[in-house]
Amino acid sequence: MAVQGGWSDKMRIYEMKLKLPSSARDWRYNLEEDVRHSWKRFLKAFKEKYCKAKTSDSERYYSMTQKKTEAPLEFFYRLNRVADKAGINFRKSSKERERHFKVFMKKLLDSSLRSTLQGQRLHSPEDLEFVLKQYEEMHQDDDYETPPPRRESRPDYMSAGKFRPKRPAKTNVAQSKVESSSEDEKQVHFQETVKRSQIKKWRQGRWRADETVG
């Protein structure tokens, strides 16, 4: 049925209904009658239901978080990729780069790494990438689980209750202190490594500048 060379509302609704999947047809059946039989109202309801706008790259960038199973360097690469899609020019603009680095640091799960990065002068994505690689090298051994202790067979006099081992409370306390000290030393070593690398880069840049002047 044509109306002035076009389709009537009834025909449009009928043709669209034939192309809808069963779930959409069930949804349409539950609409009010005046909405079902009005092309404009039906089209508006259909768009609101099935044509919701996707999350923009910018919204995705600011809502991203580091996954628990994701290394800081992996998260940095993923955030960079979304930043490029969102049009954040952190590679050439110093202001955009500084803001991008702050967004990355704010989302880090490791507070000690965040504190270390906030105290560094990072002039390029490569600088931050270098620091994160140093961090991974310092913590790569942490990924290995400590094997459970071997259970040795007890002598007969121990199983009979004639021997009582001393309480290991002091040993546990000492062990926790050693582990804590080891973590502190590892963090200090990591910070010193980063600082030495930055001093080396500064000296190389100054030497090249003097050579150019000379």
Residues 42 and 66 in one domain: no
pLDDT of res. 157: 46
Residue 188 has pLDDT above 70, yes or no: no
The interaxial angle of helices 125-139 and 111-118, nearest 10 deg, is: 140
Which of the listed residues 12, 29, 50 is the one where a domain comes to its end?
50
pLDDT of res. 17: 82
CB count, 10 Å around CB of 114?
Answer: 16
Residues 85 and 117 in one domain: yes
- pLDDT, one tens digit per residue, over 25-34 is 888 889 898 8
Residues 111 and 28 in one domain: no
28 contacts 17 by C-beta, under 8 angstroms: yes
Residues 63 and 34 in one domain: no
Is 74 among the domain residues? Answer: yes
Number of domains in the chain: 2
Residues 120 and 17 in one domain: no
Is 119 among the domain residues? Answer: yes
Residues 65 and 117 in one domain: yes
Residues 128 and 109 in one domain: yes
Q: Which residue has the tokens 């290991």?
A: 168
pLDDT of res. 36: 87
pTM of structure = 0.51
Residues 104 and 28 in one domain: no
Residue 35 has pLDDT above 60, yes or no: yes
Which of the listed residues 50, 66, 90 is the one where a domain comes to its end?
50
Residues 79 and 26 in one domain: no
- Structural domain for 195, as ranges: 55-140+186-202
